[in-house]
Structure 1
Amino acid sequence: MPKSLLKSLMLIATLGLSACAASHENVTREDGIFDPYEVNNRKVHEFNLGLDRALVRPTAIGFSTVLPDVVEDGIGNFATNVGLPGVMVNSLLQGNLERTGLAFSRLFINTIFGFGGVMDVATAFEIPEADTDFGETLYVWGAEEGPYVELPFLGPATQRAAVGKFVDLFTNPIAYVLESPYNYFGTGADIGRRLSDRGRFSDTVDSILYESSDSYAQLRLIYLQNRRFQLGEEAGGPEIDPFALETEGF
């Protein structure tokens, strides 16, 4: 990774860390939800719902219907494998050498013996999954969660997670090793994986987005419960992200 880019990323992270660490008094509700931008968030939510209804949902259902399960699994495995170098970078930044080793082991085994990661051979070898992101790195560094936000195209996040999503666009070393267009294969596979998830879990996602009395509040609660559970902060809620098309977008 070029030194100039690394310095820029560290500057962005520092600014994000400072922003997340800013104090907010008398705004966190008793249920642990901090949503001072709710009015604007709901407008973005309506935009995301319209996009899902008009484009993402029908595309995802068609995608999942046409492709055999084994192909969908292969796309998901490949996307996960391509993302492992980024997991390694964030694990190192967090000082988590065990997860760094797991990510490297899975990357090596699945790339060599799993046809570039299309097959998940590492799981068959009982090597645990390894996943993290820069939002978790900020959490480890002491950044506060910050307010809840819903991002256009990307869906639910917190201020800390939103900064993490942006930085993660630049932390995967593969983007600097492979030349165009090969460095975009991972992005394409990730979009395919998220379309597959949206199609496969269509009934559950639809019940949240289109059948609940307040889909915004429901989605916010599910996201915050899941994210905090991932970080070890509290017990988790239903394990589903209706707006899985994050970057990590539609």
Structure 2
Amino acid sequence: MDLSKSLIAGLIIATGFLGGCASNNAQEQAQAAQSDNVVVDTANPRDPFESTNREIWEFNWEVLDAYILRPVTVTYVTVMPKVARTGLVNITDNLQEPANFLNNVFQGKVDDGLDSLARFLINTTVGLVGTFDVASKIGIERKREQFGETLAVWGVETGPFLMLPFLGPSDPRSFTGDYVDGFAFPMTLIDGTVNLARIGISILEARAQLMDQEAQLEQSIDDYAFVRNAYFENLEFRVTDGQSGDKAIDDEQLDDFADFEAMLEGSDFDSYNLPEEGKKEDKEKDDIDNK
């Protein structure tokens, strides 16, 4: 097990420990929120660890992001040329294509799986180890699928909502899926230093995408509840490939949160365009109905 996997395992254990040691329960937090004219939902069955999750969220957003991640991201964006950034993102995306291939096949989407395999072969060779996304240029689009989504297709439930230190919003199914995806080729061949660099690039690029959405998050009545609810909506959207239907939040909120979730997970670049894909699919469905 490399350093990054050990760190992730340690974080989930730490989260469980904090859940047993938290001194403020959900009722106390609700009373505090009411004194500030904030409405807090403490009865969400998918969030039994809400009091602890809220504390971790405050730490992630108000401490880690404010004093570390955001300043480092601003420096990174300022110093790193755009062409170099694009190349680095393409490389990190290309490393995930074998996992995309397996998960698409496991979900019965063989054609999409073959597209993922073709993308990996083309971009690794012609695209110089993935530096250039040649596959997209010739019309083979990325079909991103995670093992957590595969588990969902197989009928596994998400489990309780988890706000993880450093990693942000998650759930047991997604966390397990991310861990399993880390064993797909060529991830197992990457040493600890290179893997940490890959994760770092993913986090910085995803955080950079969030800059324009900061105001909306800060102006929300309950930023934690917004993140939690949008997390589950975005998760269902991805699992159903954009067919989750009309839910609690609108497409604009989902689009904004997709950027936010990517910053916290450090890997979900394609999710930025998911709502638009859903709109496109809905339009195609309407066209068929009209005929």
Q: In which range does the TM-score fall when normalised by the shorter chain?
A: 0.7 to 0.9
Given candidates 249, 255, 273, the residue that maps to 1:238 is: 255
TM-score (norm 2): 0.66
1:227 aligns with 2:240: no
Q: Deviations over 1:176-227 (max 9, x none)?
A: 3x3646xx535523421320221243131x2244343321111112222211
User: Is residue 92–residue 100 contact of structure 1 (8 Å, CA) maintained in 2?
Assistant: yes
Cα distance in 1 for residues equivalent to 2:149 and 2:207 = 24
1:210 aligns with 2:218: yes
Higher mean C-alpha deviation, range 206-215 or range 47-56: 206-215
What's the counterpart of residue 142 of structure 1? 155
User: Is residue 90–residue 137 contact of structure 1 (8 Å, CA) maintained in 2?
Assistant: yes
What's the counterpart of residue 187 of structure 2? 175
Cα distance in 1 for residues equivalent to 2:195 and 2:179 = 17
- Per-residue deviation, 1:32: 8.4
1:197 aligns with 2:206: yes
Which structure 2 residues correspond to residues 71-86 of structure 1 after superposition, within 5 A? Answer: 71-86=84-99
User: Is residue 162–residue 169 contact of structure 2 (8 Å, CA) maintained in 1?
Assistant: yes
- Per-residue deviation, 1:228: 1.1
The one-letter code of the counterpart of 1:34 is R
Given candidates 92, 107, 114, the residue that maps to 1:94 is: 107
| Pair member with larger Rg | 2
Q: In proportion to residue count, which structure has more helix?
A: 2
Q: Deviations over 1:7-42 (max 9, x none)?
A: xxxxxxxxxxxxxxxxxxxxxx9x987222211110
User: Is residue 83–residue 186 contact of structure 1 (8 Å, CA) maintained in 2?
Assistant: no
User: Is residue 47–residue 160 contact of structure 2 (8 Å, CA) maintained in 1?
Assistant: yes
What's the counterpart of residue 130 of structure 2? 117
SS at match of 1:114: coil
What's the counterpart of residue 49 of structure 2? 37
User: Is residue 64–residue 200 contact of structure 1 (8 Å, CA) maintained in 2?
Assistant: no
What's the counterpart of residue 11 of structure 1? none
User: Is residue 79–residue 186 contact of structure 1 (8 Å, CA) maintained in 2?
Assistant: no
User: Is residue 206–residue 259 contact of structure 2 (8 Å, CA) maintained in 1?
Assistant: no
SS at match of 1:115: coil
Cα distance in 2 for residues equivalent to 1:79 and 1:162 = 19
User: Is residue 98–residue 186 contact of structure 2 (8 Å, CA) maintained in 1?
Assistant: yes
TM-score (norm 1): 0.76
SS at match of 2:260: coil
Q: Identity, % of aligned pairs? A: 33
Higher mean C-alpha deviation, range 222-231 or range 158-167: 158-167
Q: Deviations over 1:38-79 (max 9, x none)?
A: 111101111211111111111111111211221111111110
